[in-house]
Structure 1
Amino acid sequence: MTLTALAPAIAALLAGLVILVWSADRFVHGAAATARFMGISPLVIGLTIVSLGTSAPEMFVSTMAALDGAGGLAVGNAIGSNIANIALVLGITALVAAIPIQKKLIKKEIPILLLVTIIAGLVLADLKLDLFDALILIIALIVAVYLLFQQTSESGEAIIDEDEQAEIDAMPKKNAIFWLVAGLIALMVSSKMLVWGATSIAHAFGISDLIIGLTIVAIGTSLPELAASVASALKGHHDIAIGNIIGSNIFNLLAVLPIPGIIAPLVIDSAVIERDYMTMLGLTIGLVFIIALSYRRGTIPRFTGIILLAAYVAYMALLYSQSI
């Protein structure tokens, strides 16, 4: 198929990605401000709307993919985004600024992420993703949010960037409702565009939906995490920078991965476990060692970013070699 024939699909993919990232930001701010007007506490807003909002692109893309029968893309998006968050997003963030390590990462957040990653592996081990599997992940999501709520309420630490909190607080009620509705509509439309464009390109080149989900779509839906983490690091809000990545990975596995199991249960390619899940698990364990080894010196050194980016390039090369 010629490039000209693929032009509509490429345009839909690129436009879908841009609108998806923008609309996710607008939707989260509108939803958070609306919740504030309803009297919901900032802590609850931060742990639910804002934290889940970082995974909003993945959630909507996976929903549209599952509805369109592209379950492989949905699964690939969830796992691929986690791989991208650790190797690509954290890698770039570490190059931008040395990231300080706080004790709570080792004692609280990292153990939850590691446990969630193991649970996801056990759920996927039978190479099926059905309603029962989805329910297990959703129950784990509720437990994880509760644990994070307890930890955050005890520490009293902010989980939302100061500038982001200021925008939420300053948003008038009518604007909040407008962006809540408009952002939601734009998310649905843009995710539909992205899925159509991605699957069209995949089918034209004989590439599986899974590979497209693990690569182009995963990188695209990880852009909000990249933007948020780099911006936070440049502002000196390093705890929020790495917190964005860890929180997003937890929600990707517990809120995004169950979606195809609910909408259209599917049989999973064995490569998802043997190649993709093991890569994600390896990177997660690697993140544990990076944080543990960096704790004494107080920061994650910049050269770690180079190692993580090299790992991501190697993974992309592996996917390419197995897809041709």
Structure 2
Amino acid sequence: MGLALAALAVVLGLAGLVFGADRFVFGASTLARRMGVSPLLVGMLIVGLGTSAPEMLVSAMAALDGSGGIALGNAVGSNITNIGLVLGVSALIKPIRLHRDVVRREIPVVLLITFGVVLLLVDWQLRPVDGAILVATLILFLVRAIRSGRDSEEVEDEAEPTAGYGRATLWLLVGLALLMGSSRGVVWGASEIASTLGVSDLVIGLTVVAIGTSLPELAASVASALRGEDAMAIGNVLGSNVFNLLAVLPFPAFLDPGEIDHSLLIRDYPVMGSLTVLLVILALASGRKEGSEPRLGRRVGAVFLTCYLTYVGVLVAMSL
């Protein structure tokens, strides 16, 4: 009975993710067109912040319980999953066009933040002063994103909005609620099934839970790509990665400061940084082919997904 209930939770959760992601992206893209702002801005701020809510909640609760290491691992692990799994799967399903503003301005900013944050951690400590710097950087990022979003040429206004502000906002909130609730259902059901089959807690944590907290990003990015909202798909990943570093890490910095697990900086953070650098290189390279528009094609998606699966495989092998 328990196994059947867990399987039902996974099936219903996946169905909720699909429907919720579609409605969430519909509401976000409609609001973007109604307000006349770039879908990239909406993707980075509204969608990115909304889909990062699970990481923020998990990190806050972990830090309050004195488990700051979980919060740190959650932030870094989610960023690795966002690039390797979310972008990889999204690009495999449908190649993602990259506006030149994304390649020239947004991706380099994410790379700069990624390497800037590591400078705060090289002393193997995460302290309140580091948290204050992260929060200040987040405020600067938000101000810059809003200003650049208003000035961006990439406002996709070729399609007329099909809903008003009220309906679009309603679907945005309903879709976000479905994403949050459905992802919890999938994680719970998959964990129960894995436990019943005798899979260890560590492997469950490295796979089911890690992927589970990134399911909202995955569902939203895939739905955006399928709807042709490429700017929102890439904006979701970039924005989520920024929020994971600048909005998630302050929780352990303020609530559970102390020494950082050395393996985080020696093994995991370099993987995250390398994937970000690889994203920059592949994005730049794709735009130089016969003056074509930059894009993340299926080959790039396969590269990212392979990197992610290799990383998870190494983690599981090291834990055995």
1:315 to 311, 314, 318: 311
User: What TM-score results when the alignment is normalised by the length of structure 2?
Assistant: 0.75
Cα pair distance change 1:125/1:42, threshold 3 Å: farther
Gaps of 5+ in 1: none
Q: Tell me what 1:85 maps to.
A: 82
Q: Tell me what 1:264 maps to.
A: 256
Cα pair distance change 1:157/1:304, threshold 3 Å: closer
Q: How many residues are aligned here?
A: 299
Counterpart of 2:296 in structure 1: which amino acid?
I
Is the contact between residue 48 and residue 237 of structure 2 (CA under 8 Å) also seen in structure 1? Answer: no
Cα pair distance change 1:259/1:88, threshold 3 Å: same
Q: Deviations over 1:182-238 (max 9, x none)?
A: 95xx87xx69x97xx89xx8xx9574xxx8765433311111111111111112221
Identity %: 41
Is the contact between residue 73 and residue 213 of structure 1 (CA under 8 Å) also seen in structure 2? Answer: no
The farther-off stretch of 212-221 and 284-293 is: 212-221
1:119 to 116, 134, 155: 116
Counterpart of 1:322 in structure 2: which amino acid?
M
CA distance in 2, matches of 1:293, 1:172: 37
Is the contact between residue 58 and residue 252 of structure 1 (CA under 8 Å) also seen in structure 2? Answer: yes
Cα pair distance change 1:166/1:132, threshold 3 Å: farther
Q: Tell me what 1:286 maps to.
A: 278
CA distance in 1, matches of 2:210, 2:80: 9
Do residues 101 (structure 1) and 98 (structure 2) align? yes
Q: Tell me what 1:149 maps to.
A: 146
Say what the alpha-carbon RMSD is for the aligned residues.
4.4
Do residues 296 (structure 1) and 288 (structure 2) align? yes
Instruction: Give the drift of 1:97.
Output: 1.4
Instruction: Give the drift of 1:66.
Output: 1.6
Is the contact between residue 111 and residue 276 of structure 2 (CA under 8 Å) also seen in structure 1? Answer: yes
Q: Deviations over 1:80-139 (max 9, x none)?
A: 111011111111111111222321112210111011101121122222222111111111
Do residues 227 (structure 1) and 191 (structure 2) align? no
Is the contact between residue 87 and residue 283 of structure 1 (CA under 8 Å) also seen in structure 2? Answer: yes
What are the within-5 Å matches in structure 2 for residues 8-19 of structure 1?
none
Cα pair distance change 1:145/1:166, threshold 3 Å: farther
Do residues 305 (structure 1) and 297 (structure 2) align? no
Is the contact between residue 48 and residue 238 of structure 2 (CA under 8 Å) also seen in structure 1? Answer: no
CA distance in 1, matches of 2:17, 2:125: 30
Is the contact between residue 86 and residue 218 of structure 2 (CA under 8 Å) also seen in structure 1? Answer: yes
Counterpart of 1:302 in structure 2: which amino acid?
R
CA distance in 2, matches of 1:167, 1:61: 34
Gaps of 5+ in 2: none
Is the contact between residue 62 and residue 75 of structure 1 (CA under 8 Å) also seen in structure 2? Answer: yes
Q: Tell me what 2:66 maps to.
A: 69
User: What TM-score results when the alignment is normalised by the length of structure 1?
Assistant: 0.74
CA distance in 1, matches of 2:315, 2:237: 23
Do residues 246 (structure 1) and 238 (structure 2) align? yes
CA distance in 1, matches of 2:146, 2:260: 33
Structure 1 stretches of 4+ with a deviation exceeding 3 A read 41-51, 156-160, 165-168, 204-207, 211-216
